[in-house]
Amino acid sequence: GLTRRYTFNVTMATVTRLCTTKSIPTVNGRFPGPRITVREGDRLVVSVHNNINNNVTFHWHGVRQLRSAWADGPAYITQCPMRPGQSYVYNFRIVGQRGTLWWHAHFSWLRATLHGPLVILPPRGVPYPFPKPYREVPLMLGEWFNADPEAVIKQALQTGGGPNVSDAYTFNGFPGPTYNCSGGGNSTFKLKVKPGRTYMLRLINAALNDELFFAVANHTLTVVQADASYVKPFAATTLVISPGQTMDVLLTAATNPSSTAFAIAVAPYTNTVGTFDNTTATAVLEYTPQRPAALRGLPAPPLPRYNDTGAVTNFSSNFRSLASARYPARVPLSVDRSFFFAVGLGADPCQSPVNGTCQGPNNTRFAASINNVSFVMPKTSLLQAHYQRRVVPLAFNTSVEVVLQDTSIQGAESHPLHLHGYDFHVVGTGFGNYDAANDTAKYNLVDPVQRNTISVPTAGWVAIRFVANNPGVWIMHCHLDVHLSWGLSMAWLVNDGPLPNQKLPPPPSDIPTC
Ligand code: C2O
């Protein structure tokens, strides 16, 4: 592989969305941030300079970071943050992965504006296991806050209540014509297509707090890849994509389209009791070389109701790994250690008061937890300090099964759980309480999908397996940022193996200290 070098200057830049002009943290003045393109097998070297008045770190979401845990990026887990004026070089190889991933800040809620696509092409000369698309288009779904997202989470933590919701969903940073004041052509994302051609959308859900439905009016999508692993292709009219997840889908433009333009739409999927943004945001699929189409008034594709868990389950049940000779499934058939984690929202008995007080209901604080323990971010980096609290140690090469059971007290809600440092196999899922005797027998050990982020279904469970063959400290957390802030997080400490190539090398000399 080659070495690909990028420079990230984290700077404030002025942008206007929804009639609001404000200064936001950006990478190189761009929002969303620059696209990184590498090939499988390449080394990626990203020199980051922090020029904003806040701490920052960067995470390469979904990159396995084999023996390069120091480059993983979550603040206080694998590194201390870069303080204003500091720099750090993230240096790692892309091994055994290809498809769409992304990068984002991993400190507080800075990822709201600090994020971008990370495209991993197959090694030169290796084809896709599906016909080569005419064009490939990264499409980041996000959220726009008129307020400063840092102020939003700070206020939520201080009051113990839920944070204010965002003001718009976005497509590559653009809210589109659904929202007042966003009418003009340059506030709408347009996907221009030629009749009869096939396009690959590299979808990324970069929203802070919303699982999203996604559809294109009058067009069927074929899912070919999820979280940088190939899947058996399947067709769908509506996708469901959780924060953190990525999905590559093929869209074939009609040869005789019934219109010059069609709406692309997202809307939230949520069971949250309380407030959320229930707007359907739109972008435009435009056929060329016809004359430019109207942006407004395009009929939106039908989307499921915001709480349609049945639609979500139907969609999720389609995912199967390719499990071919070239891309075998490699799912562990036996397990050395099993864990059962209850994940959910509930009342924190105030082990961790905020600003010295508990302001939630009945002298509690609204909290999110794994096994009733809310993760409190330590003040030093776990990997640097070998800090052990709420960290589960694993011997090298342990075959691990984790059953994640959703047990929310205050209204069921699904949780997109993300594991750093690994892709895991999703061997089973269901509703109600996990029942080992019956549910284990129904596991898919043949072609389970491989992912780095999986939604634990509302009032249900999911079982995942991975082999702990990558030494380091790896955070596992809910990718709804508000739940991460509330403590829905834990970490694994995977110890070195006996062989030299099974050990984590010492930290780079420029790693920031706390
Ligand atoms: Cu995409 Cu720990 O995050």
- DSSP code per residue over 221-271: EEEEEETTEEEEEEEESEEEE-TT-EEEEEEEPPSS-SSSEEEEEEEEE--
What is residue 482's predicted lDDT score, i.e. its pLDDT? Answer: 82
Q: Does 326 reside within a domain?
A: no
Residue 111 Cα: closest atom of ligand 1: 1
Closest by CA position to 369, among listed 476, 279, 274, 285: 476
Q: Rounded CA gap, 83 and 155, in Å?
A: 22
Confidence of residue 150 (pLDDT cuts 50, 70, 90): very high
The total of structural domains in the chain comes to 3
509, part of any domain: no
Which pair of structure tokens corresponds to residue 456? Answer: 């634990």
> Do residues 215 and 176 share a domain?
yes
User: Could you tell me if 219 and 316 lie in one domain?
Assistant: yes
Percent of the chain with pLDDT over 70: 87
Around Cβ 436, how many Cβ atoms within 10 Å? 11
Beta-carbon contacts of 452 under 8 Å, excluding residues fewer than 6 positions away, are 61, 62, 227, 228, 244, 418, 419, 420, 422, 423, 424
Distance CA 378, CA 202 (A): 35
Per-residue pLDDT tens over the stretch 358-378 = 333 333 344 566 655 555 555
Tell how far the Cα of 297 is from the centroid of ligand 1, in angstroms. 36
* 494, 415: one domain: yes
Task: Judge whether 330 lies within some domain.
Answer: no
Same domain, 417 and 342: yes
Is 210 inside any structural domain?
A: yes
- Strands (DSSP E) along 56-97, which ranges? 58-61, 87-93
327 located within any domain: no
Report d(CA 348, CA 361) in Å as an integer.
10
Lowest mean pLDDT among 41-45, 371-375, 419-423, 493-497: 371-375
Atom of ligand 1 at shortest distance to CA of 453? Answer: 1
**Residue range(s) defining the domain that contains residue 118:** 1-127
Token pair of 22 as six digits = 């404000």
pLDDT of residue 185: 52
ipTM of the complex model: 0.99
% of the chain residues with pLDDT over 90: 72
Q: Which of 96, 127, 158 is the last residue of a domain?
A: 127
pLDDT of residue 361: 35
Does residue 137 surpass a pLDDT of 50? yes
**Co-location of 181 and 87 in the same domain:** no
Evaluate whether residue 202 is within a structural domain: yes
**127, 155, 171 — which closes off a domain?**
127
Using the atom order of ligand 1, give the atom closest to the CA of residue 62. Answer: 1
CATH number of the structural domain spanning residue 234 = 2.60.40.420
In this prediction, residue 292 carries a pLDDT of: 62
Ligand 1 centre and the CA of 488: distance in Å?
12
Q: Worst-scoring range by mean pLDDT, 89-103, 106-120, 364-378?
A: 364-378
**Which among 409-413, 424-428, 454-458 has the top mean pLDDT?**
424-428
pLDDT mean over 487-498: 91
**Tell me, what's the pLDDT at 380?**
56
pTM of the predicted model as reported, rounded to 2 decimal places: 0.92
144 and 114 within one domain: no
pLDDT at 219: 98
Q: CB within 8 A of 168, min separation 6: which ones?
A: 17, 18, 143, 144, 175, 179, 182, 277, 279, 281
Q: Are 264 and 172 in contact (CB under 8 A)?
A: no
Does residue 160 sit in the same domain as residue 296? yes
Q: What are phi and psi of 159, to 5 degrees?
A: -90, -15
| CA separation for the pair 477, 370 (Å, rounded) | 9
Q: Which of 321, 346, 379 is the last residue of a domain?
A: 321
Residue nearest to atom 3 of ligand 1 (CA): 61
Q: What's the gap in Å between 59 CA and the centre of ligand 1?
A: 7
* Nearest atom within ligand 1 for CA of residue 477: 2
Average pLDDT over residues 28-55: 98
- 269-299 pLDDT, tens digit per residue, is 987 655 677 788 999 999 987 666 666 778 8
Residues 485 and 428 in one domain: yes
Same domain, 273 and 313: yes
User: Is 387 within the bounds of a domain?
Assistant: yes
Residue 370, strand partner residues: 343, 373
Q: Which residues line ligand 1 (CB under 6 A)?
A: 59, 61, 74, 104, 106, 244, 418, 420, 475, 477, 479
Closest CA to 48 of 116, 140, 141: 116
